[in-house]
Amino acid sequence: MEFSYSNGFYFKGEDDMARKKIRQWVNNSKQKVAGLFRKKQQSQPQEGDIEIPYIDARTIGLVGLTRDFKDKATDVVKKSRSTFGWISKAVSPAFMPVSDFFSKRWLEKSDNPYRDEIEQNAKIIGKKGVHMLNLTYEWGCTSGVYNTDNGPVLTRVLDWPFPALGENIVVAHQRGPAGDFHNVTWPGYSGVLQATAEGRFSAAINKAPLRRTHRGAVKDWFRDRHLVNKGNALPPAHLLRKAFETAANYQEAKKMLSTEPVSMPVIYILAGVNKGEGCVIERTDTQVRIREMQDGRVCASNHFETSLNGTGDGWMSRAEGLTRVEYARALPVEHLDSNFTWFQPPIRCEFSRVATVANASKGRLEVLGTAGIKPVTKIFKL
């Protein structure tokens, strides 16, 4: 099988149509990004009114966090039922119990180390859907690591159709055998999607593209979940939590996130504390490729940019992610300020829920909760 390389992507020889479409997206996005940075001034997002809570969870744990902020946890679970309007609200009374049943059974079958914590959180919240939401993996993201005079800086925007995520975000101060870390999360959630550990590393998860079988997106999605159900590896968010709890430094985290088994394809983005410590780790359930920094930066959205993109029958990614990653690559380092000047369209979109800036070398963390393009929280600064 022959592969060709174009605009940073690998393709099967017969995949000419996909290559042409992606090249067109990349070229168009480059023009849009160039136009954005030719402006004399960037508009700055206005802050909302909600304070993002800072919780010391080192002694109370995440179960204690859920107990103390049960209202936030309950709000997330309740409003997730309206993700797709009246349709999802109508089917959720039947769908959530069934999803909880299979999620709980898989957590037990795989001997997941966080299953007791999830079970306790579910009892505190007292609503169906907690087990299912802890294993949900349907978001889009744009992330980047940039060399700066103050060390590598990680930027991250989490896009998720679930409502109420921006309003209910918290920063949890957690501790593991390797040291402390700050987790940008929600009460009732046991994984780590984005966090920073001062003196060690910062990291985030981007959803990987969907494995294609040319049978349609719905069948591909169910096939992927069937493959997950057959395995026993940690979900991507639980492996990242394990890294923050047990990895002493950037190199250990990089090794763990690229070698330990994971239940499904994932894209990790990792930033250390020294110049040049930044990478994107692209993983399927059986293969891994690592993209290192080039020209002082490395960025990712929700598509593979290595030879993984040509494996199997290919991978279905979000086309708009190409525009977002080009924006991230063109982002001037001086825009990585505390006011989220860099948080602009196209990475600021209708599904944006959380924007984060982290610098592990300086212990810097800034978080902004949003409801689409509208900020709903004040900027949290650590």
127-160, pLDDT tens digit by residue?
998 998 898 865 678 999 999 999 999 999 999 8
Per-residue pLDDT of the chain (382 residues; tens, 9 = 90+): 434 444 444 444 444 454 444 445 444 544 444 444 444 334 455 668 999 999 999 999 999 999 999 999 999 999 888 776 767 677 778 878 888 888 888 899 889 999 999 999 999 999 998 998 898 865 678 999 999 999 999 999 999 888 899 999 999 999 999 999 999 999 999 999 999 999 999 999 998 887 666 555 555 445 555 455 556 789 999 999 999 999 999 999 999 999 999 988 999 999 999 999 999 999 988 899 999 999 999 999 988 898 887 655 555 555 555 688 888 999 999 889 888 999 999 999 999 999 999 999 999 999 999 999 999 999 999 9
Sheet containing strand 54-56, strands side by side = 54-56, 170-176, 179-185, 194-197, 201-207, 266-271, 278-283, 288-292
Q: Report long-range pairs for 252-260 (Cβ below 8 Å, ≥24 apart).
A: 252/178, 253/200, 253/201, 253/203, 254/279, 254/281, 254/290, 257/203, 257/281, 258/283, 258/288, 258/290, 259/288, 260/233, 260/234
Backbone angles phi, psi at 314, to 5 degrees: 100, 180
pTM of the predicted protein model: 0.84
Percent of the chain scoring above 90 in pLDDT: 56
Q: Work out whether the CA dihedral 376, 377, 379, 382 comes out positive or negative.
A: negative
* Domains delineated in the chain: 3-47+139-381 (3.60.60.10), 64-134 (no CATH)
CB-CB contact of 22 with 8 (8 Å): no
Write down the pLDDT at residue 310: 66
Write down the pLDDT at residue 212: 60
Distance CA 245, CA 36 (A): 39
Write down the pLDDT at residue 283: 94
